Amino acid sequence: MTDSPDVLCVSDCAEAVLRSLLARHGLNLMRLPDAAPIPGSYWGEREAGLIGSDLFLRLDTPIHSVLHEAAHYICMDELRRQTLHGDAGGDDAEENAVCYLQIVLADALPECGQQRMWQDMDAWGYSFRLGSARAWFEQDADEARQWLEQRGLIGS
């Protein structure tokens, strides 16, 4: 929840690769001008926003935010997608699955990868029992992984 300048942003990544990744999951990348308000942003400021299948971002939007919101969309059912406007909702199990999936998705971006995603999640202030995103992912995320596998969102 901090506004850390040290995180990877949309401007640091190839937009075509990001656009393709989102499109594979039914999302439309909606890039906005610098300093424009971001519609559907749960956290405000430069954080990504979701309205239906449109994912709104600016060049200064953190990649971890983009992938987190994309993962919310991927994890929800069609009924929730139809009314989606900013607050993705979901329970704790789904939120954990979203965090796991955003780390998995990071590997599709050459400039990012899991290592950088863990670093950026920690810098932003994601909170995990074991103290870091990496420790959680490697040692405490079995239920999140299983949640995703059971829904066919990742392979086993």
**Confidence check: pLDDT of 45 > 60:** yes
The gap from C-alpha 51 to its chain's centroid, in whole angstroms, comes to 14
**Confidence check: pLDDT of 3 > 90:** no
Mean pLDDT of 53-73: 97
The total number of structural domains that make up the chain: 1
Domain that holds residue 58: 10-150
Q: Which of 60, 140, 54 is closest to 96 using CA atoms?
A: 140
**Confidence check: pLDDT of 17 > 90:** yes
Tokens 């074991």 correspond to what residue?
A: 130
Q: Is 1 a member of any domain?
A: no
Q: Is 156 a member of any domain?
A: no
Question: pLDDT above 70 covers what percent of the chain?
Answer: 97
The pLDDT, as a whole number, for residue 1 is 45
